Structure 1
Amino acid sequence: MDDETRIEWREWGPAAFAEAADAEQPLLLSLSATWCAGCHEMDAETYAEPRIAANVNDDFVPVRVDVDRHPCVRERYNMGGFPSTVFVTPSGGVISGAGYLGPEGMRQVLDSVRETWAERGGDAGRIPRALADDPTPVGELSPAIEAHLAGQLGEKYDEVHAGWGDDAKFPLPRTVEFALKREREQALRTLDAVRDHLFDDVSGGFFRYTSGRDWSGVHHEKLLDTNAALVRAFANGYLYTGDDAYRRPAKRTIDFLTDDLWTGVAVGGSVGPAAGREYYALSADERAETRQPRVDLTAFAGGNALAAEAMLTYAGYTDDEQAKRYAERVLDFLEAELVDEDGAVTHFRAGDDVGESLLLGDHARVVAAFTRAQQVLGWGLDVAESVANRAIAELYEDESFIDGPREGPGLLDRPFRPLDDNVEMASALCDLAVLTGDARYRDVARETIEAFAGAADRIGVQAADYGAVAARLCGDPLVVAVADDPGSDLHRAALRVADHEKVVVPNAGSVLTDREFESGTATVLVGETARSAATPDELMTQVSAATRRLGTNN
């Protein structure tokens, strides 16, 4: 029995569901995270209450789920945030669900679920609509998709406080990147607000979100995924402006990832909020003498891939050798520990605890990381291809990707097609198509984006990167092919071209074999048009001519 909660928690897995079926009892799923303050509060205030614990242990099969370690469970049973408190049948159907529940609220829900179960049993469970295996809303790919989402930027933008929306404020780094090419002032003002309100000036790194529209009510957890994505967004802000106000937070966040969250070989998953809210008002010396926040050093595949990609993005714009070295170490870890010889990615390894394999989010981010490595370092393409090919073979069904294998207890055998992970994979495949010269990857990316295009008018600003990938697929990519090795002046200049969606191809002659490239030159390619340059200044002139032709906003 757990001394803190007094609940006899089972681990997520077939055994718990089999136990519930044998006992003819529903399960109580507690979806939690190490970084989640509300989860720990619910343990202390609700689950630790003796009568509640006794009722749960007597009438339910309680299961604790770490949502970082079980992302497919998180997607199927998330009640809108964490903690999520979900009652399910032994077959996995949802009877009832809520978020945080205090003692009185939990008593009421336990009584209600007991009554429902007594009346209807297993028939009380429902299958969430997203798991009904209905066809995706296929539609035509057109520039109208980008235009719609660009319009959403204006409609949802907060002119007073920056950011998008009129409630809680999340940093939305991918929306920022979409806006950098379409509504740059909005993007930069939002980066300013994120830096001013969510950045930890003492230890570095960004907090997760604020509960207030004016960026008040900061929630102080620091997650790897959020921080890695913001490193990339701030680096891209620096790319367009050359302003150190965007470079410095990116650099200090890389320092946070490679210090506070560094495991020795990779980056850990999160830093939770401190025990007292006043902790983040203390100086560095004062913090050192205070109880430290909870740290989860589990090295997750997707988060580490995103971190490596972000560090390489920053290094490509700044020549920062430390960022490059740490990115290489993370890539080495991924390749050695989490990517097998057939391209399957394992979610994490922590001692004897091994995570699931073949999760779409992990594969998408690993492909993106190694395609970025190919552009910046000149290697990584073989890993990117292997991981992409395995995802296409195992997860690509009916012209879009499911989030993982159709297997496991509960609702895990039901396919789920997350828009965000599909978009990330499609974006990575666009880059991979250029770097390999294999049009098949672009075809898969196109079909994936088209699979959701029938509902494009209902996609909101939080998924604005869908519009970015749709735009890339509607036109020819901007490619800068460098004849020479990575590190040359022309290669470094190519990486600094002010378009974060460009693709840079070093050693171009070995990949783009249908063309000849003269040593000491770089070629700007847009469709069938090629413009050659021998110096960085000439390259920038040719890029400007090419982007005017494209009508981009650089």
Structure 2
Amino acid sequence: MDDARSAIEWHSWEEGFAAARERDVPVVLFLSATWCADCAEMEEKTFGNPQIRANLEEFVPVKVDADRRPRVRDRYNMGGFPSVVFCTPDGEILTGATQLGIEGLRSVLERVRGVWSDRGSEAGRIPRALRDSEPPAGTLEAGIEGSLLGRLEAAFDDEYGGWGDAPKFPMPRTIEFALKRDRAAARRTLEAVRTHLHDDYEGGFFRYAENRDWSEISHEKLTDENAALCRAFANAYLATGEEAYRETAGRTAKYLTTTLWTGEAFAGSQAPGPDDSYGAPEDRTGPPVDETVYAGRNALAIEALLTYHAYTDDAEAKRFAERALGALEELIDGGSVAHHSGGDRDALADQARTLRALTTAREVLGSEAALETAQEVADYTIETLQDDNGAFRDGPAAGEGLLSYPLYPIDTAAELADGLLDLAVLADDEEYREAARGALSAFAGAGDRMGPQLAGYGTAVSRLVGEPLVIRVGEPAGSDLHRAALRIADHEAVIVPGADCEGAVASAGKRTAEPAPSPVDLERAVSALVGAGAAE
């Protein structure tokens, strides 16, 4: 298919490898994204150069949208976008790089041509993450949470906030982990993220900062990252009661439901404006939005808006979440989730995030239909993606290139485990809890080596081996008692509206409080329950 921007006859993923095998020539894979300004620049200036086009005659050029094909992205990403990857006709990697200029790409083309002439397919390699893919299994212990917290404390940037050096990413799941365990670090990071990455004019958050001090902002906005930050700021409001956190979550929710709203669901991303002109509002020209409706990104947005609604009674957030939930359900077939309309199915990230959106809908809206669909998604995921050792693959081990090799993403496994733990309570089914145990124990052998970016794993382990708070409410969703339960200051709690009990009954592990007939009584019961647990 032709692309006027570079005048190169780009092949699709499947077509490209078939053509490469037929011609016995290497593939040059251009992995890009609609929101990536560097990708557009390289396609126009580097691939658009006549000499580069001539040098590509001995290759099969393949262009893949990283958002549309996440399993390709996760196997071939060279550390950023764009990624340029040279492969054998079977998909093994010859070499690769990120953004290249004309001379850089021409040099690599010549080198790969020589290697291919000398060694052919024997020069290809399979990345270690795929070649040695067995996860580092181990025993789940409460110490994993404490060990991870210690590494977060060591990596925390006391001067600028956030964890690590440069580049600086907001890490919303790490913030949420810290909200319960190192609140000072969480608050310092929230302030840094809000100060430097939040768009004060149009709402929403930019993707990351190049430098340790949060300077040199990368101005693209991704729906999943905005949704996760909306949820993190909402949870910070729950934990602290600070109005500034609520306002930031609300502005992000507004950005999701205006700029990123397609009319039926949430768009995938928004690219930077021309020349990254993010100064005065009158200079804005409306950066382009990719209106592809991705399942996982919509699921995160639904969860975030319902979380925000649970703490604030914001009717608009609820309305948009319910509408997007309807669109998300159209992508589900027998528990199998399509990445987008007409796209690949059964990606673990889509399954996990959809599960979380559905369990949140049960907790906040009281939807029995959402609970039923959540069980279908969980059952299908366990049946099709879980190995005998308990680990979950990122998708079906099938497809062109390295897609036939299984990949076990620990961060996604933790997201899935969180949803399964919620579902175990909501559906009163311990099989989901055991599936979560398998997902987490598959990586427990690496528990002492996990960095701040994997704090979500620590959260899931804590919820599995610890004594998480559960509140069963014998009144329907929306009642005063249910709303009070949602606002108990623990964002890791599970709330079950419409339960078979009198009043509201809080429990943590084997300890159960007396039924609370009113919101005030519930608050007292939970405080006593949590206090008793801390004293043990």
Structure 2 residue 276 is the aligned partner of structure 1 residue 282 = no
Q: CA deviation at 1:185?
A: 0.8
- Tell me the secondary structure at the aligned position of residue 253 of structure 2: helix
The answer to whether the 8 Å contact 1:133/1:414 transfers is no
Partner of 2:523: 540
Partner of 2:358: 370
Q: CA deviation at 1:530?
A: 1.8
Partner of 2:52: 52
Partner of 1:514: none
Map 1:313-462 → 2, pairs under 5 A: 313-335=307-329, 337-340=330-333, 342-349=334-341, 354-379=342-367, 380-397=370-387, 398-462=389-453
Opposite residue 39 of structure 2, the aligned amino acid is C
Opposite residue 82 of structure 2, the aligned amino acid is P
Q: CA deviation at 1:133?
A: 4.9
Structure 2 residue 234 is the aligned partner of structure 1 residue 235 = yes
User: After superposition, what is the alpha-carbon deviation per residue over 1:240-289, rounded to whole angstroms, capped at 9, x for unaligned?
Assistant: 11111111111111111111111110000000011123x21022x442xx
Gaps of 5+ in 1: 510-516
The answer to whether the 8 Å contact 1:34/1:294 transfers is no
Q: CA deviation at 1:318?
A: 0.5
Q: Which stretch shows the higher mean deviation, 316-325 or 3-12? A: 3-12
Residue 530 (structure 1) aligned to one of 501, 509, 512: 512
Counterpart-to-counterpart distance in 2, 1:136 and 1:178 = 23
Q: CA deviation at 1:458?
A: 1.1
Counterpart-to-counterpart distance in 2, 1:421 and 1:393 = 17
- Tell me the secondary structure at the aligned position of residue 358 of structure 1: coil
The answer to whether the 8 Å contact 1:153/1:183 transfers is no
The answer to whether the 8 Å contact 2:17/2:401 transfers is yes
Counterpart-to-counterpart distance in 2, 1:133 and 1:361 = 21
Q: CA deviation at 1:549?
A: 2.9
Q: CA deviation at 1:124?
A: 1.0
Q: CA deviation at 1:537?
A: 1.3
Counterpart-to-counterpart distance in 2, 1:390 and 1:133 = 26
Partner of 2:454: 463
Opposite residue 132 of structure 1, the aligned amino acid is R
TM-score, scaled relative to structure 2: 0.97
Gaps of 5+ in 2: none
The answer to whether the 8 Å contact 2:142/2:466 transfers is no
Counterpart-to-counterpart distance in 2, 1:551 and 1:26 = 61
Opposite residue 106 of structure 1, the aligned amino acid is L
Opposite residue 245 of structure 1, the aligned amino acid is A
Counterpart-to-counterpart distance in 2, 1:486 and 1:88 = 54
User: After superposition, what is the alpha-carbon deviation per residue over 1:168-216, rounded to whole angstroms, capped at 9, x for unaligned?
Assistant: 1100000000000011011011111111111111111000000010010
Counterpart-to-counterpart distance in 2, 1:134 and 1:493 = 45
Partner of 1:6: 7
Structure 2 residue 53 is the aligned partner of structure 1 residue 65 = no
User: After superposition, what is the alpha-carbon deviation per residue over 1:375-409, rounded to whole angstroms, capped at 9, x for unaligned?
Assistant: 00001101110011111111011311101111110
- Tell me the secondary structure at the aligned position of residue 542 of structure 1: helix
Partner of 1:513: none
Partner of 1:549: 532
User: After superposition, what is the alpha-carbon deviation per residue over 1:5-61, rounded to whole angstroms, capped at 9, x for unaligned?
Assistant: 122111111x211110111100000000000011011112211111011111x1100
The answer to whether the 8 Å contact 2:133/2:408 transfers is no
Counterpart-to-counterpart distance in 1, 2:224 and 2:291 = 13
Q: Give the superposed CA RMSD.
A: 1.1
Partner of 2:41: 41
Opposite residue 147 of structure 2, the aligned amino acid is H
Counterpart-to-counterpart distance in 1, 2:532 and 2:88 = 58
User: After superposition, what is the alpha-carbon deviation per residue over 1:214-251, rounded to whole angstroms, capped at 9, x for unaligned?
Assistant: 01000000000100000000000100111111111111
Counterpart-to-counterpart distance in 2, 1:476 and 1:197 = 36
Q: CA deviation at 1:110?
A: 0.5
The answer to whether the 8 Å contact 1:238/1:246 transfers is yes
TM-score, scaled relative to structure 1: 0.94
The answer to whether the 8 Å contact 2:295/2:337 transfers is yes
Counterpart-to-counterpart distance in 2, 1:122 and 1:184 = 53
Counterpart-to-counterpart distance in 1, 2:158 and 2:491 = 25
The answer to whether the 8 Å contact 2:296/2:350 transfers is yes
Counterpart-to-counterpart distance in 2, 1:130 and 1:19 = 27
Counterpart-to-counterpart distance in 2, 1:198 and 1:27 = 37
> When the two structures are aligned, how many residues end up with a matched partner?
530
User: After superposition, what is the alpha-carbon deviation per residue over 1:432-453, rounded to whole angstroms, capped at 9, x for unaligned?
Assistant: 0000110000001011111001
The answer to whether the 8 Å contact 2:133/2:406 transfers is no
- Tell me the secondary structure at the aligned position of residue 372 of structure 2: helix
